[in-house]
Structure formats: structure tokens, C-alpha cells
Chains A and B, each alone.
Chain A
Amino acid sequence: MAQLTDNAIEVIDLVKHYPKAPVNAVDGVSFTARRGEIFGLLGPNGAGKTTTIGVLTTSVVPTSGKALIMGHDVTADPIGTKQLIAIVPQQSNLDRSLRARDILTFHAAYHGVPRRERNARADALLAEMGLADRAKEKLTRYSGGMGQRLMIARALMHSPAVLFLDEPTNNLDPQSRLFLWERIQQMNREGLTILLTTHDMLEADQLCQRIAIMDHGKVLALDTPDELKKIIPGGTSLELRVALPQPALVSATGTAREESGLLTALRALPGADKVDEIAADPNDPAQEGITRYRLYGQDAGTLTAPALQAVSANGGELRDLHLARPSLEDVFIYLTGRNLR
């Protein structure tokens, strides 16, 4: 029987092509999330994470491929699937015509939870989320964090087997974020399988037992956070922030030659297995005129002195130097050559 599978979520060669779109939103994605796992989909906006969740939660019909929840084919049996899952979306979709507690009890009623059980559950979850004293209110005076907590309470009302969290801590204040992280781990300890999407590296690292890194509709790498970090050769990286002289006023091409001069010099350093030049965030004025270089190597620390020489030889001025064990962000940059956002 399908129910006996150990996999909570199975995605097999999933493709989603939206009409009129030049490329596939999801382009041959496969992964498996085991029962009781917190599984992360990590990637920038437009990587195909939300579309993948859409297929798994029956609101997107795949162009090809297959998706299974607890052994149920999502496309063939949407009703059975919906009974097993719950979703906390990126943006609030709470029913604003209802009071907070009614949102929970009606949700449970839609799912056929008997009256007594749903009332007891709503009260317990409201208390647990710290919303008990606001339970009879409509949502007009609810903050973003409170709405988020209410959406999580709502998701738990029908005791789903798999919970989908789409960018759960996006737009949350740090305190709500910590609260949510603890809640996610708590729910997971109670046996809930959780699939979350995020473009927050720290979040993925903290919460997820396994992570699929996605970009342009494809899974680039899938493993535990620790194993993913081993993708980076050596295991350490050296990051330089350099202010380069500004002949940009003379001509744009001149600047490009100047920068690639330093890049070439860094790449030529013995012991540097890979060197990336990371474009500055154009929206951050503090980064203006600063170029980031990241050097990966067996022992990136030994690269420090020759790298500094290369910088000054190329007329650059060192602004910051940073030696780090790789984070998931480094893994993403290593895999794609660009920043997450």
C-alpha cells in the first residue's frame, strides 16, 4: 500500500512550463523528502521553488513528471492529497471576514474535524502561539508576525502529515523569526514532515536536515548542509573587498580591463583552486566602488599575503579581508557564480 512508503514527498522529473514563458519554471526537478524530515528548497527568487510547492499542493498542474505525497499521486488524487498537507504561504491569505478563532475552526471544519475536537484544538493552538487574548478579534489590528503565527496555527488544525512553508520568515522581525524557527523544530520533533523554501542561507543551515539548492528551475545540489559545504574545495575561503582605482570616468571598458587584471592575478596565485569576482549589490550604496573577490583553496589563509600583493600591484585598496569556513551562501556562489539575491 502506498501509505507504507518511507518517503513523505517524492518529486520525479518534474517539469512546469507556463504558456508564453520562454523557459520552464521548473525544469526536470527530482528529490525525495523522508518522513519526519525538514527539507529545504534553497534558491533565489525565480528559481522554481514556489512553482514546485504549487505542484505539491495541487494548485499547479505539472507539464510532465510526477509528484507524490505519502505515496499519493498529487495530480491524480488532489482531494486525498489536500487532506494530508497544509500550507503556510508567503503572503497572508487569512480570511479577513472571520475572527481569528473562527479562521481556525472553519479551516478544521472544511477538513471534517469534528466540532469538539476543532474547538479544543483552536484554543490550544491560539494559546501556544500567544494569541489567546486576541482570539475574538478580526485581523484589522493584527501585526505581520501575528498573522504568520495564526497561519501556522491554521495549518496545524487538521493535523497534516506534511507541512509546506513558503519563505516562512520573509518580512518577519528578528524576534518573530526566532520564535518561528523554534516552532518549526518543535513541530518536526512531533513527527511532522516539513518542506520549506527560503533564500535565507542561515535559515536553511539552521533548520533543514537536507537541502536542495535550486536555480533556474533545476536542482544544482542536494545534500545535508555539512555535505553541501564540502562541495567547496579545500574548505576555507578568503574574501577580499577591494576599492579599485576609478578610471571608470575615462571609459567603461577601461574599468573592465582593470578589474579583470586583478582577477587574473588572483587566479594565478599558487594554491587558489577557484577565484570568483562577485558583483556588488547595486542597491547598496555602501558597496559602491567595492569589488568582492572570493578565493577558495586547501588553506586559504596562506593566500592572504600574495593576494594583498596582487591587490596593491593592481592599484587596488584593500577595504576588508575575511577568512571563513564555507557557509551555504558560499556553496551557492560557488555553484552559480552569483549572489543569492
Chain B
Amino acid sequence: MAMLDVTPQANGTAPQAARKPRSHARMAWTAFMAILRRDIVVTARDFIPFLLQVLVQPLFFLFIFGKVLPNLANSGTSSGFGNTFTVLLLPGIVALTSFTTALQGVTLPLVLDLGFAREIDDRLQSPLPVSLVAVEKVVFAAMRGIIGGTVIFPLAYLILGNSFQVRTDAIPQLIGTLVLVAMAGATVGLTIGTLVKPEQISLLFALILTPLLFTGCTYYNWSGLSSIKWFQIVTLFNPLTYGSEGLRKFMMPPITVTTPAGPQSFTIPTLDAQWIFLGLGVAIVAFFLIGLQTFRRRVVS
């Protein structure tokens, strides 16, 4: 059979012996970068579907909450409510999109892979510690989250028009916060993805994602909750709260409202920077460590 002819390249063990022995650290680094490249290649090939997946939800949020509802509110009273709401909504949408894009980038593939597809086996059998496979998932998902959050800006500019107002004097802080939000989403995603079984996926959306979205201070600012104290405290357990508030802090310009006494300028209060970074930092470290632990338990028995 011609098919059985051996080609020199496909020859047994000879090249193995010829290859230079490499240190474990070097092998692991090479494997890690190749696995990361695999994820980038796969996502880049399906970049348009990826963008659609990321953008459709925020597009409607921005249009309805940032354009339609403020117009309805303003038509009666001509107050500054609509404008104010849009200004505090946009950072919330950026945070939410970045967080959930990162989270889903880890959770869904992991649930399926660890559940039955086992497509991850090839990477687990690569010469690197299995924990690094989880680390790669987090790194790549965070990259997805950063891209997801970033593409909201031009989208919002197109939809909101004049109501698009973003501070330009805190760009480094803004970028730093966005990175942390994406990392928080990715680490939370790692923990969820290693805990949820495939048959529980529908529960995942109902019981985990929905509460996460609505208690994350995305559609309201934290200080605005002062009249519902218990709920204000609940939101502090959601890492997304710190992300939304953080982006608010570095995105919202002072707002000018026309009053009978003339134009007045004010800033919407947010959580303090140290609480924002502490909240995000604790969430990232905690969920990363828990996720790594559960990941190891799922792949090595």
C-alpha cells in the first residue's frame, strides 16, 4: 500500500535524539506561547462573529438607555437627567462588556472542554505545568475583554453623538482600570468554568450571570444607592462594581446643567480610587487562586 510508505520526515525517534535537550522552563515558555498563539489564530479567523457576539448587547443598551430613554425623559421636563444618566451609563457598559467578554472567553470553552469535548487535552499534554494552561486561558480571555471594552468607545461615539462625553485627562488610569476589569472577568470566568458542569449551563446564565450583571453598578452609580443601604452593601461583593465605578471615575467629565440660576457644573461621586483598586485586586487574586485549584482538580485526578 502506497499510503504506508515511510517518508524520512515521519521517521520514528531519530529527530527526537537529534534535538537539543532544553530546560523545562524553556519548554514550558515555548508551549505557553504556542498555546496563546493558537487562541489568537482561532479568534482572528472568526473575528467578525467575535465582534458581533461582543457588540450586539451593548449596542442595544446604549441605544435604548443612552438615546431613547433620555429623549423620552427630556421631552417632558427638559431637565439634565438624560444627559447625566448617559454619562454614568457609558462607563458601566464598557465595564460590563469587558468583564463579560473576558468571562465568557474562559467559562464556556472550559465547561465544554472539561465536561466532554476534552479538546484541551492536547494542550494539557504539552510540556508545561497544567496550571499554565489555565493561566494562558486567563491571559487570552483578558485580552478579549480589553478588546471588547475598547470597541465600545467608537460604537458609543456613533450612537450617542453629542452625549458622548469622556474625560481625556486620565487615559493611563482608564487603560489600567480596563485591564484590571478584564482580568477580573477572566479569573471569575476560570473559577466558574471549572465548577460548572455542562448540564448546568442554563443554570449558569440564570443564577450566576444575571445577578452578576445587575448587581455590578453598571446601570447606576454606587453612591446613588445610599437610600437602599442593604443593596449598596450587596453590590460590594460583586467585582464588577469596582470595575464600573473605576471606569466612571476615570471617564466621567464634570456635568454642566442649565438651572434657572444659570449653568451649574458638578461631578457624580464614585468610589475612591484605593477602594476600586483594592476591590479589583482582591477579586483577581482570589478568583485566580480558587480557579487554578479547581482547574488542577478537574484535569489531574
- Using a CB–CB distance below 8 Å, which chain A residues touch chain B? 18, 54, 57-61, 78-80, 82-87, 89, 91, 93-98, 102-103, 106-107, 109-112, 117, 120-121, 123-125, 127-130, 154, 156, 158-161, 179, 182-183, 186-187, 190-192
A111 neighbours in B (Cβ, 8 Å): 31, 126-127
User: Within the assembled complex, what's the spacing in Å between the Cα atoms of A167 and B102?
Assistant: 38
Indicate if the CB atoms of B11 and A190 lie closer than 8 Å.
yes
A-B contact count (CB 8 A): 131
B122 at the interface (CB under 8 A from A): yes
A97 neighbours in B (Cβ, 8 Å): 42, 119
Most buried by B among A111, A120, A156: A111
A84 neighbours in B (Cβ, 8 Å): 16
Indicate if the CB atoms of B118 and A83 lie closer than 8 Å.
no
Residue interface bits B117-145, CB-to-A below 8 A is 1, else 0:
11101111111111000000000000000
| Known contacts A80-B24, A96-B117: A130-B3 contact under CB 8 Å | yes
**256-271 of chain B: CB within 8 A of chain A:** none
B126 neighbours in A (Cβ, 8 Å): 82, 110-111
A102 to chain B, nearest CB (A): 8
Residue interface bits B71-84, CB-to-A below 8 A is 1, else 0:
00000000000000
A230 to chain B, nearest CB (A): 33
Apart from A57-B125, A110-B122, A110-B123, what 7 extra A-B contacts exist at CB < 8 Å?
A: A58-B300, A59-B299, A59-B301, A60-B301, A84-B16, A112-B27, A125-B9
Indicate if the CB atoms of A93 and B27 lie closer than 8 Å.
no
What are 22 inter-chain pairs, A to B, with CB distance below 8 A? A58-B300, A59-B124, A79-B128, A95-B38, A98-B42, A109-B30, A110-B126, A111-B31, A117-B15, A121-B10, A125-B10, A128-B3, A128-B6, A154-B122, A158-B16, A159-B13, A159-B14, A159-B19, A161-B13, A190-B12, A191-B12, A191-B13
Which residue of the partner chain B has the closest CB to A132?
B3
A60 neighbours in B (Cβ, 8 Å): 300-301
Indicate if the CB atoms of A124 and B34 lie closer than 8 Å.
no
Of the candidates B37, B38, B127, the one whose C-beta lies within 8 Å of that of A112 is B127
- Using a CB–CB distance below 8 Å, which chain B residues touch chain A? 1, 3-7, 9-16, 19, 22, 24, 26-28, 30-31, 34-35, 37-38, 41-42, 117-119, 121-130, 299-301
| Known contacts A109-B37, A128-B4: A121-B9 contact under CB 8 Å | yes
Indicate if the CB atoms of A98 and B125 lie closer than 8 Å.
no
Indicate if the CB atoms of A182 and B4 lie closer than 8 Å.
yes
User: Within the assembled complex, what's the spacing in Å between the Cα atoms of A78 and B4?
Assistant: 33
B38 to chain A, nearest CB (A): 5
A80 neighbours in B (Cβ, 8 Å): 24, 127
User: Within the assembled complex, what's the spacing in Å between the Cα atoms of A106 and B16?
Assistant: 17
Which residue of the partner chain A has the closest CB to B29?
A112
A141 to chain B, nearest CB (A): 18
Indicate if the CB atoms of A161 and B16 lie closer than 8 Å.
yes
User: Within the assembled complex, what's the spacing in Å between the Cα atoms of A154 and B37?
Assistant: 18
Indicate if the CB atoms of A112 and B22 lie closer than 8 Å.
yes
Which residue of the partner chain B has the closest CB to A192?
B12
User: Within the assembled complex, what's the spacing in Å between the Cα atoms of A82 and B125?
Assistant: 6
User: Within the assembled complex, what's the spacing in Å between the Cα atoms of A136 and B10?
Assistant: 20
Indicate if the CB atoms of A59 and B300 lie closer than 8 Å.
yes
Indicate if the CB atoms of A79 and B24 lie closer than 8 Å.
yes
Indicate if the CB atoms of B119 and A96 lie closer than 8 Å.
yes
Which residue of the partner chain B has the closest CB to A60?
B301
User: Within the assembled complex, what's the spacing in Å between the Cα atoms of A78 and B299?
Assistant: 13
A179 neighbours in B (Cβ, 8 Å): 3
User: Within the assembled complex, what's the spacing in Å between the Cα atoms of A191 and B15?
Assistant: 12
Which residue of the partner chain B has the closest CB to A82?
B127
Indicate if the CB atoms of A83 and B127 lie closer than 8 Å.
yes
Which residue of the partner chain A has the closest CB to B31?
A110
User: Within the assembled complex, what's the spacing in Å between the Cα atoms of A128 and B35?
Assistant: 26
B121 neighbours in A (Cβ, 8 Å): 87, 89, 93
Which residue of the partner chain B has the closest CB to A187?
B12
| Known contacts A109-B34, A121-B10: A79-B127 contact under CB 8 Å | yes
Most buried by B among A79, A82, A91, A98: A79
Which residue of the partner chain A has the closest CB to B124?
A59
B116 to chain A, nearest CB (A): 9
B35 neighbours in A (Cβ, 8 Å): 110
| Known contacts A110-B123, A111-B126, A128-B4: A54-B301 contact under CB 8 Å | yes
B32 to chain A, nearest CB (A): 9
A98 neighbours in B (Cβ, 8 Å): 38, 42
Which residue of the partner chain B has the closest CB to A83?
B127
B8 to chain A, nearest CB (A): 8
Most buried by A among B6, B28, B35, B129: B6
Indicate if the CB atoms of A159 and B12 lie closer than 8 Å.
yes
B301 to chain A, nearest CB (A): 5
